[in-house]
Structure 1
Amino acid sequence: MTDAPHYNPDPHAHPGLHVIAIFEAAKGVLALFAASGLELLGPAPLLRWVNELTQRFQLDPNQGALGWLSNTINPDSVHLAAAVVFAYGILRLVEAWGLWRAKAWASWLGCISAAIYLPLDIYALFRHPGWMSVGVLLINLIVVAVLARDLVKRRH
């Protein structure tokens, strides 16, 4: 009787990789749902939502971000947005698979992609102080620290 092949993780890999992998997989699945929703719904609900916001807050529909959005939303821009969100979802799922399998490239990808958000998280903390901003910053710092530690452990 042969044994089924089983997973043999890198003994130097950080034990927190599986937690981060689950988090990244959830982000990837949500992104795929969002991309699907954009494709299925099309531009009409988005335009309606922007118009409702403009009316609710009594904004000039030709000025600011909402004015820009209402002029930018069209079938082509929705397809482009859906494609970008779909690619992001696939990237998160590939990263999650790599982290689950304790691949060094996935730790690099995760560490770099989480670190990119740190300046934005710090800006958000100063611009909108509160528990949400602190929580997001702490989570990203923990992810960067765990993945960086994993990469350092692999080098030694």
Structure 2
Amino acid sequence: MTDAHYNPDPHAHPGLHLIAIFEAGKGLLAFAAAFGLELLGPEPLLRWLRELTLRFQISTEHGALAWLSNAINPDSVHLAAALIFAYGVLRMVEAWGLWRVKVWASWLGCLSAAIYLPLDLYALFRHPGWMSVAVLAVNLIVVAVLARDIRKRRD
């Protein structure tokens, strides 16, 4: 069934519109993070990393922190900002499609939320708590709503 035959009434799709708002919020946060990285540059990031390692008495000679302190430079900050910005664009495109009740947006949202489910389960077992449960629950709800939407379009 095509989008033209699907009910465009906004009241018929409150779940899609709620997810669209959620995705748009993630997109706006990603834009803010990307612009923040570009404005800050590597110097404050390196200073904050040094302050954290001193405060918590963590060694930066080996491991992930050593790699991170060596990896933070202007080029890596620009690359990180570009990737975060691209993620924001993807979230905003998905939000627009969900708001306009497009089937491709339901597929995109369902797949992108489902990709995180194994990581959510891992986080739940490694760090049990209300936050892990909440993140898993939200992603399961998003996948269920979007999968239901896709299934309805096929009937």
TM category (shorter chain) comes to over 0.9
Cα distance, 1:15 vs. partner?
3.1
Aligned position for 1:101: 100
Q: 2:35, 2:45 → 1: CA distance?
A: 14
Q: Match for residue 7 of structure 2?
A: 11
Output the aligned Cα RMSD.
Answer: 1.5
Distance apart, 1:9 and its partner CA: 9.0
Which sits farther off after the overlay, 9-18 or 43-52? 9-18
Cross-structure match for 2:42:
43
- Greater share of helix residues, 1 or 2? 2
**TM-score w.r.t. structure 1 length?**
0.92
| 1:38 Cα deviation after fit | 0.4
Query: Are 1:24 and 1:93, in contact at CA under 8 Å, matched by a contact in 2?
Result: yes
SS at match of 1:16: helix
Superposed displacement of residue 61, structure 1: 1.3
- State TM-score, norm by structure 2: 0.92
AA partner of residue 111 (structure 2) = I
CA distance in 1, matches of 2:132, 2:59: 30
Q: Is the 8 A contact 1:34 1:85 kept in 2?
A: yes
* 1:112 aligned onto 2:108: no
Equivalent-residue separation in structure 2 for 1:9 and 1:144 (angstroms): 23
Counterpart of 1:57 in structure 2 is 56
Q: Using the TM superposition, give the Cα deviation of residue 64 of structure 1 relative to its aligned residue in structure 2, in angstroms.
A: 1.9
* Same amino acid, percent of matched pairs: 76
Q: Which runs of structure 2 are paired with 1:24-43 in the superposition (5 Å)?
A: 24-43=23-42
What is the CA–CA distance in structure 2 between the aligned matches of 1:58 and 1:9, rounded to whole Å?
Answer: 62
**SS at 2:137 equivalent:** helix
Deviations 1:11-36 (A, max 9, x none): 28743000000000000001001000
Gaps of 5+ in 2: none
Deviations 1:96-131 (A, max 9, x none): 000000000000000000000000000000000000
Q: Report the count of equivalent residues.
A: 149
Q: Secondary structure at the match of 2:14?
A: coil
Give distance in 1, aligned partners of 2:119 and 2:49.
Answer: 25
Q: Which residue of 1 aligns with 2:87?
A: 88
Q: How does 1:61-72 map to 2 (within 5 A)?
A: 61-72=60-71
Q: Is the 8 A contact 1:20 1:96 kept in 2?
A: yes
In 2, Cα distance between the equivalents of 1:58 and 1:30?
Answer: 31
Following TM superposition, the consecutive aligned residue runs of length 4 or more in structure 1 with deviations greater than 4 angstroms are: none
- Indicate the residue corresponding to 1:3 in structure 2: none
Unaligned runs of 5+ in 1: 1-7
